[in-house]
Amino acid sequence: MDTQVREHKAAAAVFKGAAVLGLATIVSKLLGTLQKIPLQNIAGDGVFGIYNAVQPIYLLILTLATAGFPVAVSKFVSEHMALGEREEAKRVTAVAAAVLAVSGIAGFALLFWGAGSIAAFMGVRQSERAIQSVAFALLLVPVMSVLRGYYQGQHNMVPTAVSQVVEQLFRVAVMLGLLFYMLEGGFGDSWVAAGATFGAAAGAAAGLVVMLLYWRRGRTSPGPQAQAKPNEREQPEEHAARIEERGRLRQGGREPTAALLRRFLAYALPVGFGSLVVPLLALVDSFTIPRLLMQAGSGEEEAIASFGLYNHGQPLVQLVVMIAGSMSAALIPAVAAARLKREKDLIASRAAMTMRFTWLLGLASALGLAVAAPQLNVMFFASADGSLPMAIIAFTALFGTISVVSGSILQGLGLAGTPARNLLLAAIAKLALNALLVPAYGIAGAAVAAVLAYALAAALNVARLRRCTGVAATGGAGLAKPLAAAAAMCAAVWATAAGVEALLAALPHAPSHRIAQTAAALAAVCAGALVYAAALLRGGTLTRHELAHMPGFGKLQPLLERLRLLR
């Protein structure tokens, strides 16, 4: 009975830690995504274009420098703590930190001293200083990520959560401070962009300080695995096998460093490869769009500004995809648990319901952003320039959410390599489509290429998922009712925006254009969401049984019943 109580407390601690980390991740990603809006507003599309050209390079080199080591640290520390080997867990962390410090220095050297060559290869020579500026973050982030892995391996998510939020707050604060200082001082776009990218190094320094304080002061207590005896968490034969494996690897009481590194690499590199594919799509744009625009006749500054316009829609789309990714975070262990129990029907039902909600969320987000693109563009970026590419890119919200969530289900099924391979194929397709469409149609062609590339990744994921579970993107539901609800939503968005614009324009003291467009955008989004939800419920697309699985439904149920929207 005592063992069951301890197990229950341990599980509760794990879920609490996951919730803390999940909330912190959402907050930090929100800050990281939405910081692009004030950046463009303050510095303009030229600086915005340079910033968006440099960021994928930094993310790629950072991924190469860290690979899957933080995940490996978390796994190895968790195992050692379960065996009561606290000092060995610390040694694992120290070895990983030393290796990643070296890789971070190598990444810094590559970016800092190779910045001129990289900028020339991109065709954006003004990005050289920004590349050098962001390189400093590589001296700090790898060690910080190892320390985060150490505490996550103890199922203590608080240090990681605190450091993530502090990192993003300092990143945004330093970026904004340098932007105002440099713009007041009359610095050129290349220097202003360098100031913006230096926020990454400042944020990394703040995050690392937080992690070092936790490490030095010993504020954390052992996680649930460290407190539990091995035979309380494993079957006897499993525990004996792990002890035998440790004994085989060790000499003189501890595992040799060379053997430890081999195990690290064997585990970390496949994980790192999966992460490496993600920034490739953005990197393809950085290295192709400005160059292709210049080959089509644009000057460098014009091409960079156009690339900035192309990225107007990215923060909003990334926000939608981020929400979908956060929603699917708990899906991997749930599907994995059902797979281990060989409960095929449970896997299919969980996958079907998740894909159904994903399809409905992605469809509404894509069409809503597309219809309201002109108003949202003015609201966030002060200008309607680039509204057409923004409207086209909105459709990546649909395919991006389907790709992310279906990829999470595939990972839970033990097919972690499949989403990575499909994203790699999408990156290759994006490269070819950019070459074909950008010279002829400019950034609108690049936007079409993005939609098609993400559609390819989503289709490949869904095809594999259907072979494994029999579940399609819409969960087997027909398209007629969701599309009818989406059409009603689009009509509501358009009519509301037009009505609010006309009403404000008729006032004796009409507000400024940006305020009017902001009011129209907010009203249109609210009206569209209400009409879409009502149409889905009234048409029977979402049933009472399905909604019962959603958090907070109990509080909304009486209201929905009074409005006769439930079936």
Rg of the chain taking only CA atoms, in angstroms: 25
* Judgement on whether residues 558 and 461 belong to the same structural domain of the protein: no
**228 in helix, strand or coil?**
coil
How far is the C-alpha of 118 from the C-alpha of 121, rounded, in Å?
A: 5
CA atoms of 425 and 348, how far apart (whole Å): 27
Instruction: Please indicate, yes or no, whether residues 156 and 287 belong to a single structural domain of this protein.
Output: no
The total of structural domains in the chain comes to: 3
C-alpha dihedral, 401 to 406 to 409 to 413, nearest 10°:
-160
* Alpha carbon distance 458, 438 (integer Å): 23
Q: Final residue of a domain: which of 220, 254, 277?
A: 277
For residue 76, being part of any structural domain is answered with yes
Query: Given the structure tokens 């894509």, which residue do they identify?
Result: 366
Same domain, 383 and 443: yes
Same domain, 447 and 507: no
* Confidence (pLDDT) at 216: 81
Whether 204 and 312 share a structural domain: no
Q: Give how far the C-alpha of residue 138 lies from the chain's centroid of Cα atoms, to the nearest Å.
A: 20
Instruction: Please tell me the total number of residues recorded for the chain in this structure.
Output: 567
Both 304 and 364 in a single domain? yes
The verdict on residue 110 lying in a domain is: yes
For residue 254, the model assigns a pLDDT of 67
Of 244, 277, 310, which residue sits at a domain end?
A: 277
Residue 287 and residue 269 share a domain = no
Do 54 and 167 belong together in one domain? yes
Position 82 in a domain: yes
Q: Does residue 91 belong to any structural domain of this protein?
A: yes
223 and 318 both lie in a single domain: no
**How confident is the model at residue 192, as a pLDDT?**
93
How far is the C-alpha of 282 from the C-alpha of 300, rounded, in Å? 19
Q: Look at residue 326 and tell me if it is in a domain.
A: yes
pTM of the model: 0.78
From first to last of its 567 residues, the chain has per-residue pLDDT tens of 455 545 445 444 544 555 565 566 667 767 777 788 888 899 889 999 999 899 888 888 887 777 667 777 777 777 777 777 777 778 888 888 888 888 889 999 999 999 999 999 888 889 999 999 999 999 998 888 888 888 877 777 788 888 888 998 999 999 999 999 999 998 999 999 999 999 999 999 999 999 999 888 764 444 444 444 444 444 444 445 555 555 544 544 567 777 777 777 777 776 666 666 667 888 899 999 999 999 988 888 899 999 999 999 888 888 888 777 665 555 555 666 666 667 677 777 777 777 887 888 889 999 999 999 999 999 999 889 999 999 999 999 999 988 888 887 787 777 777 888 898 899 999 999 999 999 999 999 999 999 999 999 999 999 998 888 776 655 444 678 888 999 999 999 999 999 999 999 888 888 999 999 999 999 999 999 999 988 888 877 776 666 665 655 556 667 666 666 666
- 459 and 552 belong to one structural domain: no
Whether 37 maps to a domain, the answer reads: yes
Q: Judge whether 371 lies within some domain.
A: yes
Same domain, 268 and 360: no
Tens digits of per-residue pLDDT, 388-437? 999 999 999 999 988 888 887 787 777 777 888 898 899 999 999 999 99
Q: Which residue has the tokens 């919730």?
A: 19
Report how far residue 161's alpha carbon sits from residue 124's, in angstroms, rounded to the nearest whole number.
Answer: 36
Whole-number Å distance between alpha carbons of 313 and 394? 7
Do residues 131 and 200 share a domain? yes
Does a structural domain hold residue 434? yes
Give the angle subtended at the CA of 15 by the CAs of 11 and 20, to the nearest 5°: 145
pLDDT at 253: 57
Last residue of a domain, one of 277, 311, 340: 277
Residues of the domain holding 445: 280-477
d(CA 245, CA 453): 44
